[in-house]
Amino acid sequence: MSKQIILTAGQKAFRINKDKTIYGSIVEIGAGQEVARQFFRVGSASKTIAKTMSAYDRDFSDAIYGKEDDGRYVCKSRLNKMLDQEYGLLEERLNRSDHKDTRYFVFADTVTTINYDRTINGHGWIGLRFQIDPKKAPNDFLIHVRLKDQEAKLQQETIGVIGTNLMYGCFNETDPKEILNQLYDNLSRENFEIDMVEVLGPDFEKIDNRLLSLTLVKERMTNAVIFTPDGKNKYPSDVLFQKNILAVRGSFRPVTKVNIDMLDEGLKKFKDNKKVDEENIQLLFEITLSNLMSDGQLDERDFLDRADILCSLGYTVMISNYMKYYKLCEYLSRYSDKRLGFIIGVDNLVEMFEEKYYRNLNGGIMEAFGIMLTRDIKIYLYPSQRNSENQLINSKNIIVHPRAKSIYKYLLNNKRIEDLDYEKDILGIYSRDVLKKIKSCEIGTWEHMVPDGVADIIKDKSLFGMTCKI
């Protein structure tokens, strides 16, 4: 098999310029005009570009695109206003009868690059509104990127390549996943990450944006994605910024009454904390990618089943690559310095104190817990009952690795770990047992183990491998 040839950004720009059917505008704010520069440098840009513009001044920008309610300029709302305004001008100023075979486009970005003092990290919103068919309505391909280069000049150049890759991909590929992969042509994961993607339009009608979000995590374009109860994927900062975040991790295959009890009891304790603003709490049901790949393969349908149920219950869902809690803690602390809370079961807490999980760190387990202790975090422990002994396991009698006992005692004595109350009648419910009963069509044996309404959803949609007819 011959090796696939990856075109340079200049080669991609030139091919677009030579395509007489592609015509539109490029508008950029905040990182130079690097995308437009790619097209002007290679020649024949007059056949592709109707207009370029960079409304750097805030007053000018507001006069053209309107003010944002929150005063921000690097945000999705600004990007959409730029696309709306400029695409509208294309349709208004170009006579369609003279451009019957022309596919209109507008490329837009609003970006902030790293500052001299390294106190502001570069990030931005990038979008393309484009036609595949001149007779059809346009599509949107929107992404948010975090820029990792440590110089503003390098971040600007990265934006230029990303934008060119996006335009070339959208006009030459039909699969959004392939377009996402091509955004890294002539770049690497070290240059930037994509932590939000959204596609809209007639050519993307069958695309579920949640699956695209999952692709970002699976392909390590980012380490976490979030979508809200309405099923829409969101830029993490829009959900997490300066929130008191309370997260519960699990497979939720399916979600059970125990999971909900854990959250309810954890929320009660969290609200009682003086450092927590009840009106500022963000709940998260977090699923690691490993929990989605329990059989070694990623089952997209299974993922959507879990997501649909959690969203139907009104919860925000997070998918992450963070196997270790200290990494999750680092990630959440990126968006909020408020008190954080993790609701954890006994088995997960025991694993947290296993030294083998921290061999990649120079400071081992001490470094991991040092990271967590420098963040304002509280661990809420939900008890477990061993069926064979009928013994309740909680923070008082849990057995951790001998070499980690001193760390555990420190956390316990400083009230970083706190026991949760529990509902005795449901303590013995486990997702794996419920799943087994569902697959075995043991009707009437599991329905009482899941939250109200969930059993009906599972039966109506034949979720989680349910094959029997009701």
Question: Domains in the chain, please, with CATH?
Answer: 9-207 (3.90.950.20), 238-426 (3.40.50.620)
| SS3 (DSSP) at 109 | strand
Q: What are the b/e assignments for 375-397, b being 16+ CB within 10 Å? A: ebbbbbbbbbeeeeeeeebbbee
Strands of the 281-288 sheet, one edge to the other:
233-234, 224-227, 317-320, 281-288, 244-249, 340-345, 377-382, 417-419
Tokens of 343: 């609701």
What is residue 23's predicted lDDT score, i.e. its pLDDT? 97
Mean pLDDT of 266-275: 95
- Whether the predicted pLDDT of 137 surpasses 90: yes
Q: What's the pLDDT at 231?
A: 85
Structure token pair of residue 250: 């699990």
196 near 138, Cβ under 8 Å?
A: no
Q: What confidence score (pLDDT) does residue 84 get?
A: 97
pLDDT confidence of residue 1: 43
Mean pLDDT within 101-117? 93
Query: Nearest 5 degrees, angle CA 347-CA 223-CA 178?
Result: 130
pLDDT confidence band for 308 (50 / 70 / 90) = confident
Residue 35: the pLDDT is 96
Query: Can you spell out the DSSP letters for 190-246?
Result: TTEEEEEEEEESGGGTT--HHHHHHHHHHTTS-SEEEE-TTS-EE-HHHHHTT-EEE
Look at residues 43, 53, 34 and name the one whose alpha carbon lies nearest to residue 164.
34
Residue with tokens 């450092």: 275
Closest residue by Cα to residue 107 from 50, 63, 151: 50
DSSP 376: -
> Is it the case that residue 76 has pLDDT exceeding 80?
yes
What was the pLDDT predicted at 121?
87
- Mean pLDDT across the stretch 455-465? 88
Residue 290: pLDDT band with limits 50, 70, 90: confident
Question: Rounded to an integer, what distance in angstroms lies between the CA atom of residue 225 and that of residue 286?
Answer: 10
CA atoms of 379 and 411, how far apart (whole Å): 9
pLDDT at 207: 94
For the cut 80, the answer to whether the pLDDT of residue 268 exceeds it is: yes
Q: What whole-number distance in Å separates Cα of residue 325 and Cα of residue 417? A: 14
Residue 467 pLDDT more than 90?
A: no
Q: Mind listing the pLDDT tens digit for each residue in 398-448?
A: 999 888 999 999 999 999 999 999 998 999 899 999 999 999 988 899 999
- pLDDT tens sequence across 311-344: 989 999 999 999 899 999 999 999 999 999 999 9
Determine what percent of the chain is predicted with pLDDT higher than 90: 77
d(CA 430, CA 210): 27
DSSP string, 294-328: TTSS--HHHHHHHHHHHHHTT--EEEE---SHHHH
Q: What mean pLDDT value characterizes the chain?
A: 92
Q: What is the mean pLDDT of residues 277-284?
A: 96
Where is pLDDT greater, at 240 or 120? 240
- What was the pLDDT predicted at 388? 56
- How large is the average pLDDT for residues 355-368? 90
220-241 pLDDT per residue, tens: 999 999 999 998 899 999 999 9
Which has more confidence, 63 or 390?
Answer: 63
7-32 residue pLDDT tens:
999 999 999 999 999 999 999 998 88
**What is the reported pLDDT for 298?**
77
**Cis peptide before 138, with omega less than 30 degrees from 0?**
no
Determine the pLDDT at residue 294: 58
Tens of pLDDT, residues 177-215: 999 999 999 999 999 999 999 999 999 999 999 999 999
What per-residue confidence (pLDDT) applies to 389?
62
